[in-house]
Amino acid sequence: MSAPILQVSQLTKRFGSLVALNNVSLEIREGEIFSIIGPNGAGKTTLFFNIVGLQKPDAGRVLFRGADITGKPPHKICDLGITCTFQVPRAFANMTVEEAVRVGAYQRYRGREVQRKVDEVLQICELEEYRHQRCCDMGLAPLRRVELARALATEPVLLLLDEAGAGLNPSELAGFMEILRRLNEEKRITLCIVEHVMQMVMGLAQRIVVLDYGEVIAEGTPQEISTNPRVIEAYLGKGAVC
């Protein structure tokens, strides 16, 4: 078993009286595809935001390769190699695809190297034909790939994807999953996917954690999860998986 790349221990986040995360602990291992599932409002997005530094937790710690990164600003965490994509694409609406990806590429490159990185990422994400299109003129499927490409351009070692498959049709989803699998195998990028689309979770993830009302209620392989009675009660029982 490989070493942990990210350890979240007893993370708690409150918004007023609402407890969005309650004592959440989990561990993501180097090189794996990890998944977090759970019903709406279970705290998945909040967890991501607290890991990448967009929000600061009220209690608990986040360790990246053993070093404490709790409460660091997002740009520092990005520099360390963790970044995320957003559930609702936060496109740089008035920028072209190439420009948007460039923003990420500047994280590690300067001068000519930037363009090389942009070209490489555009190719991986199959976006070359959209290169000069403005983000606000694009459909959802390519926009999801732009989000991915932007993040990839920063050369993360751990990439958090927040419902990146939502709203895609089956063939688009298959293409997207193929890209992710390749990234994981060829680039050795550790992936953590939050997802509603069970097809994607079950097809990709090696380990799954289930969140409900801000708490971890189960952990295991896809097979273990799909037969866990607590999970079925909290989540799968609602017919999310068929």
Q: How far is the CB of 59 from other proteins (least distance, A)?
A: 23
Q: Is 33 helix (H, G, I), strand (E, B) or coil?
A: strand
Restricting to residues 121-150, name those near other proteins by CB under 8 A.
132, 150
Q: For other proteins, which stretch binds (CB under 8 A), given 106-114, 191-199, 200-208, 230-238? A: 106-114
- Candidate list 30, 39, 92, 119; residue touching other proteins; CB under 8 A: 92
129 by Cβ neighbours in 10 Å (0-12 / 13-18 / 19+) ranks as exposed
Helical H segments across the chain, by residue range? 44-52, 74-80, 97-105, 112-124, 140-153, 170-186, 198-204, 222-227, 229-234
Q: Check binding of 177 to other proteins (CB under 8 A).
A: no
Q: How far is the CB of 91 from other proteins (least distance, A)?
A: 8
- Beta carbon nearer to other proteins, 23 or 96: 96
Q: Would you state the structure tokens that stand for residue 52, as one six-digit string?
A: 């990448």
Query: Nearest CA to 13 among 70, 67, 90?
Result: 70
Exposure of 14 in the CB half-sphere (CA atoms within 13 A): 6
- Beta carbon nearer to other proteins, 77 or 177: 77
- Beta carbon nearer to other proteins, 22 or 85: 85
Kindly give, in sequence order, each residue whose CB lies less than 8 Å from that of residue 142, ignoring residues fewer than 6 positions away: 97, 127, 130
Q: Check binding of 45 to other proteins (CB under 8 A).
A: no
Q: Check binding of 99 to other proteins (CB under 8 A).
A: yes
Residue written as tokens 């049709």? 169
Query: Nearest CA to 180 among 172, 132, 128, 108?
Result: 172
Restricting to residues 21-40, name those near other proteins by CB under 8 A.
none
Query: Nearest CA to 108 among 131, 78, 83?
Result: 78
Q: How far is the CB of 170 from other proteins (least distance, A)?
A: 28
Q: What angle do CA 49, 160, 236 make, to 5 degrees?
A: 90
- Candidate list 3, 18, 94, 185; residue touching other proteins; CB under 8 A: 94
- Beta carbon nearer to other proteins, 131 or 230: 131
- Candidate list 15, 56, 68, 90; residue touching other proteins; CB under 8 A: 90
Q: Is 68 helix (H, G, I), strand (E, B) or coil?
A: strand
Q: For other proteins, which stretch binds (CB under 8 A), given 17-25, 27-35, 103-111, 223-231? A: 103-111
- Candidate list 74, 167, 175, 222; residue touching other proteins; CB under 8 A: 74
Residues that bind other proteins (CB under 8 A): 52-54, 73-75, 77-79, 83-84, 86, 90-95, 99-100, 102-104, 106-107, 110, 132, 150-151, 153-154
